[in-house]
Amino acid sequence: MTEQQFYQLLHRRLSQIAIGASAIRNQGSGGLIKILRQYFETKVDLELFIKSLVDETQYGEFLNEHTTNVLKLFPDTAQSWGAARKGLNLFLREIIYSKFFSHRFSLPDDFEEFNRFVKFMEVPLDKEVAHGLIADSNGQLPKWINIKHLTPTLSATYQSQASIIATQENVARINLDLKYWRSV
């Protein structure tokens, strides 16, 4: 196996494990997990992802482009912007948490430097994360309905609050998922 083959297989593996059965449940149609996994494996250029992290606007464009592309692949009965965005955020998180990709793309090892490098990444929104954000913001966020009803505007509201909380916690907002995941 060559190094290139190893990274291709690792990319494939992370595409598969990032989206578990519970991550995108109840979104109105079967097959979304397969669509997401296949898209992440074949359509997300990891070098472009890492390069986009240096600028908030560039990273936002990267996220929006891939969210839109994934959404186009979803069946008409499952047009959930929230599911597409959550899946993408989960996958990208697995990439930066991977020892091998971190090393390959020279991500910082130091905790503070790492958090500064990934500061523009979004926390993957779901019920648990939303409830954690609501609790930590003293109820300043709108009521969470579900991922199916997540819109770009509502996501931006939650992500903005996540940035405030992340600053208080001295982490990048992507890492708030660790705090809120299965916290109950």
Q: Which tens digits make up the pLDDT trace of 148-183?
A: 899 999 999 999 999 999 999 999 999 999 999 876
**Which pLDDT band, with edges at 50, 70 and 90, does 78 fall under?**
confident
Residue-level pLDDT at 24: 75
- Provide CB contacts within 8 A for 42, sequence distance 6+: none
- Distance, CA of 121 to CA of 56 (rounded, Å): 9
CB 173 within 8 A of CB 120: no
Give the residue among 181, 162, 180 at the shortest CA–CA distance from 172.
162
Angle 56-73/81-97 helices, nearest 10 degrees? 120
**pTM confidence score:** 0.93
Please say if the pLDDT value at position 30 is more than 70: no
